[in-house]
Structure 1
Amino acid sequence: MGTATISEDNNTIVAGGDWTLEHLNGLSALSKSLLQRVNGKISVDASAIGRIDTAGASILLELVEDDANRVMVESEAVRKLLAVVAKAQNATPAVEHKPDTGFLSSVANIGAALEEFREKSVALVGFIGLILSAFSRTVLQPGKWRMTSTIAHIEQTGLNALPIVGLLCFLVGAVVAFLGATVLKEFGASIYTVELVGYSFLREFGVLLTAIMVAGRSGSAFTAQIGSMKAREEVDAIRTLGLEPVDVLVMPRVLALLVSMPILTLVGMLAGLVGGAAVCIFALDISPTMFIVRLHETTTVRHFWVGMSKAPIFAFLIAAIGCLEGFKVSGSAESVGSHTTSSVVQSIFVVILIDALAAIFFMEIDV
């Protein structure tokens, strides 16, 4: 255990022995006893100390009021130890501020959200440019096309999604027809339910419902797949092999969705029309022949092309967002989950935003 005695001039404490954690209780008692017997500033002669650690250094510094310059030592290592402990003990503790829940906090949260939106928008635009650059680089080199991967993704995103897209659009078509018939019946205009179903599904609902389903089904799958590869460092392995991850992972998914989305949109439109026709036939006494004839007479083909023109745009954006969020994964399972959720939310938001802008545009040009 460490020892300490007061010199004859009562200005210096001579310390010796071992000042370590195992003797902490005894050293604390010794320090209190010495402080009661001395007055004013004193120095400590620690040249005779054998072993010392941070616990012993802390007790030693109590004798000199945390002033390491008043401790005389011969070892440079002990001097550095005392300096580090003194610095730690003299550090001002961080003041814990209570969170501001007032007006300024609300403004700060809005600013943070806008900044995050700006960063994500810039990242998405840059990633879209990267995809277009990769496409222009490989479009004239058929040897670099990854047809096997592309066809596999077409099956996953297109063929396997047909049942759920068809069922969803059929049910929504039936609901739209029910609502339209309920309102129009009061005006004696139930027959116009045919136009309501035709316009809504050919222009908006067919492509919009399909895009939302694809965003939740395929966009999230893209993020999870690439994110898992990022977590297992497979993306780094692709770079090590001299390949571009955008060419290997992104392009097949983008091309697959560009092929699948128009097909799914067409199926969604037809399913919605069938759902609306079923309601008209069984609830409004409109025969199948009358439904088809009226749909043919009142609904022009331009409504179909308005809806189909949005399908490739939605497909490209959903694939880009899904792949971009996958590359943002940091490596943990929690990160994969959070970025998958973010991918679905961003995709649905962008799809609805672009659809609203497209609706305004087509209305202004009278299409």
Structure 2
Amino acid sequence: MLSVARTRIIEDTSAARVLDGAEGRLALGGRWTADQGASVERAARRIAEAAADRAVVVDLAPIERLDTLGAWVLERTRAEIEAAGGRLSYAGATAEYRILLGEMSLREPDVPPAKPVGRIYGALDGLGRRVVGGGQDMVTGIAFLGEVVAACGRVAARPRTFRTSAFVNQIEQVGLRGAPIIVLISFLVGGIVAQQGIFQLQRFGAQTFVVNLIGLLILRELGVLLTSIMVAGRSGSAFTAEIGSMRMREEVDALRVMGLDPVEVLIVPRILALVVGLPMLTLIGALSALLGGGLTAMLYGGLTVDQFLARLQAAVGLHHVFVGLIKAPFMALVIGIIATIEGFAVEGSAESLGRHVTASVVKSIFMVIVLDGLFAVFFAAIDF
């Protein structure tokens, strides 16, 4: 028969303890809380000794209070008893106690640890997983694009639901506040390209053709590519961080509870701001790069302003400007989709937020370069 002598019960009546019990049954009393940690551990050892090799029912009704620590110790003791061949069950637990014990229950990992494999096999396995992950990201992006298009259709059908203030704010963040850094970097890159071009073309006495080089390269390729990469690193990462923070604070769930569509509220204004702002930034960046290249050509190549402008007008046409501007909205759409997908994928930790922000920037830059290559092949095929 299981019993505890009254003389051995702890004098502090609030401490966790094991009361007298009938055969195969134990009653717990006192406070099973963090401030009674030592008493909780002693009582847990008494339970383990009593239920080491048989089935025992533990009555929780006399417990004055049970917190996370007490529930964890009880569940840990139950796991130890069952591992030793015994059995322990609860009786008299309130609904709150059952929920707490269920949350604290010790579970074995669902997936057994992987066996060590060879380096070659591991490398191939990692490569295969990345390929499959890339395919899944592509499918997810296409599905999310469909959601964005559907949301844009709903907004077009109900113009009053469009959040103009959010759109204007994003235009300011993407375009107005992003213009200075894009102008500066484009100016410097244009000057560097012109300088290197002049040094190479001087060997053939053709330094004047540097105008053709920087004109075509900047207007068709470098202007939109450089601007898109900077926007991906600046605005794309900001979108991911903002939406990810909202996910961590459960604000996205709150929008759904309020009956609002997070895609309409959060995604549509941001993507439209990118689609509108990136072409403008591309044009500004291209003009800044041409200015930097022109100044370098005058300093290193001995060209005058009139010679540079005349050569530039003869080398490039309006369709070259359109090539860069046509690419910009598509690159903006890709950046916006990737940034928002990564933002919605953030979980409840700072590590997850940092990982998805990094993934957003890397994936956006990669897809921008791929898209630029596809456009280059397309325009070459149609001779545009």
Please say whether Structure 1 and Structure 2 have the same fold, judged by a TM-score greater than 0.5. Answer: yes
Distance 2:225 2:78 in 1: 67
Match of 2:295 in 1: 278
Question: What does residue 88 of structure 1 align with?
Answer: 83
Task: Measure, in 1, the Cα distance between the counterparts of 2:201 and 2:235.
Answer: 38
Alignment CA distance shift 1:227-1:285 (3 Å): same
Name the counterpart of 1:295.
312
* Match in the other structure for 1:333: 350
Closer/same/farther in 2, CA of residues 185 and 152 from structure 1, 3 Å limit: same
The answer on 1:184 being equivalent to 2:179 is no
Quick one: structure 1 residues 306 and 55, their matched pair in 2 at CA, closer, same or farther if it must change by over 3 Å? Answer: same
Q: Which residue of 1 aligns with 2:175?
A: 158
Within the alignment, does 1:168 sit opposite 2:175 as a pair?
no
1:198 equivalent in structure 2: 215
Match for residue 361 of structure 2 among 344, 347, 350? 344
Shift, 1:356, TM fit: 0.9
Alignment of 1:60-209 (within 5 A): 68=53, 85=80, 87-89=82-84, 99-209=116-226
- Structure 1 residues 255 and 222: alpha-carbon distance in aligned structure 2, compared to 1, 3 A threshold: same
Alignment partners' CA distance in 2, 1:95 and 1:310: 48
TM score, norm. by length of structure 1: 0.78
* AA at the equivalent of 2:83: A
The Cα RMSD (Å) is 3.1
Q: Give the corresponding residue for 2:270.
A: 253
CA deviation map 1:119-144 (0-9, x unaligned): 21111111111000111111132211
Name the SS for the 2:298 alignment partner: helix
Question: Judging changes above 3 Å, is the alpha-carbon distance between structure 1 residues 141 and 173 closer, same or farther for their aligned structure 2 residues?
Answer: same
For 2:114 and 2:339, how far apart are their aligned partners in 1? 38
CA distance in 2, matches of 1:244, 1:135: 12
Which has the higher relative contact order, 1 or 2, with Cα contacts under 8 A spaced 6 or more apart? 1
Taking structure 1 as reference, are residues 330 and 96 closer, same or farther at Cα in structure 2, changes over 3 Å only? closer
For 1:95 and 1:257, the matched residues in 2 are separated by 45
Q: Is the 8 A contact 1:57 1:85 kept in 2?
A: no
SS in 2 for 1:139: helix
Report the equivalent of 1:4.
none
Question: Max radius of gyration: which structure?
Answer: 1
Equivalent pair of 2:191/2:292 in contact (CA under 8 Å): yes
Deviation per residue, 1:46-99 (Å, 9 max, x gap): x9788697756766898xxxxx5xx6x7x6569xx9996564147x99997663
Q: 1:193 to 1:84 in 2, by over 3 A?
A: closer
Sort the Cα spacing of 1:249 and 1:85 in 2 relative to 1 into closer, same or farther, 3 A: closer
Cα deviation 1:138-183 (Å, max 9, x = unaligned): 1132211211111111011001111100111111111111111111
Partner residue of 1:313?
330
How many Å apart are 1:331 and its aligned residue?
2.1
Work out whether residues 201 and 210 of structure 2, in 8 Å CA contact, stay in contact via their aligned partners in 1. Answer: yes
Deviation at 1:305, TM superposition (A): 0.9
Displacement of 1:361 in angstroms is: 1.4
Any conservation in 2 of the 1:18–1:49 contact (CA below 8 Å)?
no
- How many Å separate the matches in 1 of 2:80 and 2:180? 69
Q: Distance in 1 between matches of 2:266 and 2:167?
A: 10
Note closer, same or farther for the CA distance 1:57–1:323 as it changes in structure 2 (3 Å cut): same
| Structure 2 counterpart of 1:99, one-letter code | P
Go from structure 1 to structure 2 and tell me whether the alpha carbon gap of 1:356 and 1:58 turns closer, same or farther (over 3 Å shift).
same
Gap change, CA 1:56 and 1:170, over 3 Å in 2: same
Specify every segment of 5 or more residues in structure 2 that has no aligned partner in the other structure, as ranges: 9-21, 28-42, 60-74, 86-107
